[in-house]
Amino acid sequence: SSPARSNTTESAVVELSDGSLMLNSRDNRNRQDKSETNGRAVSITSDLGTHWTVHNSDHGALPEPVCMASLISHRLSDDRTVLFFSNPHHTSQRKNMTVQMSLDDGTTWAKQILLDKEGGAYSSLVMIDDNTLGILYESSRADLVFQTMQLKEFGL
């Protein structure tokens, strides 16, 4: 594809409910930007990356201390699409490891579950089964932690 953004790395891509693709990227500009415009660089494409547009959640909805994050989509039994996102939810420090969900293709993020207040870094999300979300992440308590969450914890 053509580049979506400059000065970004460690991206995750998901398919949205309309079939378009969302690219969610670590933005190296956040090393200096600790204001309300700090956050993940989020772009979407409906033509497999020939053209990219900035998503309305770009820079501001998902704060980050410049760290890899994880993003996955999952189709619920009622046919809705839910996005799950994990990262250290802080503008300058790798702490507040959080998992959030979105039921509107990433326009809004709700139901934050705080996993580790003191730490948190590189994470990877996976669906264990239709009702269980798994996450592997660097924590304050160990080099790596794997834990599961039931989707009912998110109100699903």
Asked if 153 is an active-site residue, the reply is no
Amino acid symbol at 66: V
User: Are the C-beta atoms of 24 and 112 separated by less than 8 Å?
Assistant: no
Distance CA 133, CA 156 (A): 12
The catalytic position among 10, 15, 36, 153 is 10
Q: Give the CA distances from residue 104 to residues 6, 16, 87, 93, 108, in Å, rounded to whole numbers and listed in that order.
A: 26, 9, 19, 28, 7
- Residues marked active site are found at 10
